[in-house]
Chain A
């Protein structure tokens, strides 16, 4: 690796790490707002969607900076491989591994979103759900890496981010839309009481009757 031992690389690595966490929190919250159909009156739903896309781009950039800064800093012997292959770093194996997991998940979510229009929506959605474990891994990585995790400002920052995340998750589950909540300010007529009752999508998955013989 390039023989850079400037402490500034180390500072950049830690700083971009913290900023990435804040951005990731923002991205996940925006994604939750989209899923729960927020908007349509003062703010357009598509605007929240666009914001989600833009902030996620920023998050990816900062995470890239974080990874690059850590990799080229030869004061800390982590190579490029160990940033994506968990458990391959000789230095601080577990914390880096957790970070590698987070990065792998991020790459999966990010790349599939770049080609979203070319793939099956169901597959894209399944992979997008990985954002939640990705966030958890990112927080855990920050905690285990320990460079700043004893500092009060860091604990406060991470603590608030986690609380926001957990709160958003709870709200996501509690206010998950039945298919009734499609209406926005653009729907012309008020719905009648009965038709906006919760009607969860009734999946009629039935097992085949294997006893029916082939002749």
Chain B
């Protein structure tokens, strides 16, 4: 496969046909006579980092588990995709499930695991179907290699966080765990677990066939390879694209058919960062985005047009994130709803807006870093970036002049709560 053409993990007829590839189609699609015998070495060469949001070097995570002395080890494919604005993992599994399973099998063999758990939210019936069919196909063809199973935790936001996911597999509750040191070896019982995002496994599947050098032929020196992005917001149809890391953002927006001169762009996920529309020609990689405090994250690109209201969108997201808190830690359980309340005052340009702005600053500083997981930190980061990017608008709101879109702006895909009783913190 030519190293310089896209798509890579989404290559093949699956996207157009809207049907996942069969095993036979998959083998033809990704034809290669070469299979590396030292996957970990190729992973190191490739510079592949996790595509779930944390961007941790994949080979280091794998090496940590490979070095564990345990007869039983597990590999987990994290397809939970708790971000409402992200669809890349589901699209990937609906297109090339075998590539993901290839990568998982290769990784399992390389680290000494014999069981692979593919974790999919129980509400995603179609995706579960695709993966189960694919596993069936593989089983019919051969009985060697690691065993596959599908697990279906509830689709809460924190369920995708790797310690929460492993805790669910171990103990039946999607609760993030307090980890004293990082990186930390996650365990089910006493057995080490290697958790990676579904897209990461797909890239591993390609690296196994084409090598680490092939992988880094795309992208930049620090951010190698391609990545999947989910574009939503000011776009006719929310899209999932595969792009080379380092591509300028406006190019991605153009290809996706989104608004190319937006007011702002939310990058990473709902715990990510707003980027001002003036910087829309920034290359899409962590080094370039870091200058604006942003990161690639889970590949979320949510476009806010000029006629939207950034504060209202931030409020909608914060409310939802507050409700998704596992509520194990006080600062998050109470801090996030408090921040949402302050944002509501600002969005409505009420008389309390100025005081609310002051409170928000203080609360953000107080909440950050004091939870067991990074959920509250993400919300604090989001709100802080909103304050930088939407500063003029916030000033107007503080003076009592809400913008025209304040009450109606609805660009961020925030799930509707089924009933009032779902809103646990009110």
Contact A201 B154 (CB under 8 A): no
Stretch at the interface among B185-193, B276-284, B326-334: B326-334
Contacts of B151 in A (CB 8 A): 208-209, 212
Partner of B154, one of A197, A204, A212: A204
Distance (whole angstroms) from the CB of A120 to the closest CB of chain B: 14
Report the separation of the CA atoms of residues A208 and B174 in the bound assembly, to the nearest whole angstrom. 11
30 A-B contacts, Cβ less than 8 Å apart?
A179-B327, A179-B334, A180-B334, A182-B330, A189-B362, A191-B338, A192-B359, A195-B334, A195-B335, A197-B426, A199-B333, A199-B424, A201-B328, A202-B326, A203-B173, A204-B154, A204-B174, A205-B172, A205-B173, A206-B172, A207-B172, A208-B151, A208-B172, A209-B122, A209-B152, A212-B150, A212-B151, A212-B152, A214-B149, A215-B147
Which residue of chain A lies nearest to B169 when distances are taken between CB atoms in the complex? A208
Report the separation of the CA atoms of residues A26 and B149 in the bound assembly, to the nearest whole angstrom. 56
Interface SS majority for chain B: mixed
Distance (whole angstroms) from the CB of A198 to the closest CB of chain B: 9
Contact A204 B149 (CB under 8 A): no
Interface residues on B, range: 20 to 34
Contacts of A213 in B (CB 8 A): 149-150
Q: Mark A173-186, 1 if CB is under 8 A from B, else 0.
A: 00000011010000
Contact A199 B334 (CB under 8 A): yes
Contacts of A2 in B (CB 8 A): none
Partner of B149, one of A179, A189, A215: A215
Contact A202 B424 (CB under 8 A): yes
Q: Mark B401-426, 1 if CB is under 8 A from A, else 0.
A: 00000000000000000000000111
Known: A195-B337, A202-B424. 14 other contacts (CB 8 A): A179-B333, A182-B330, A191-B334, A192-B338, A192-B341, A194-B337, A194-B338, A194-B425, A201-B328, A206-B153, A208-B172, A209-B151, A213-B150, A214-B149
Contact A201 B426 (CB under 8 A): no
Report the separation of the CA atoms of residues A212 and B152 in the bound assembly, to the nearest whole angstrom. 8
Interface residues on A, range: 20 to 34
Which residue of chain A lies nearest to B344 when distances are taken between CB atoms in the complex? A194
Distance (whole angstroms) from the CB of A61 to the closest CB of chain B: 38
Contacts of A206 in B (CB 8 A): 153-154, 168, 172-174
Report the separation of the CA atoms of residues A209 and B150 in the bound assembly, to the nearest whole angstrom. 10
- List the 8 closest pairs (A to B, CB-CB), nearest first: A195-B338, A214-B149, A194-B341, A215-B148, A195-B334, A202-B327, A206-B154, A212-B150
Does B139 make an interface contact (CB < 8 A)? yes
Contacts of A197 in B (CB 8 A): 337, 425-426
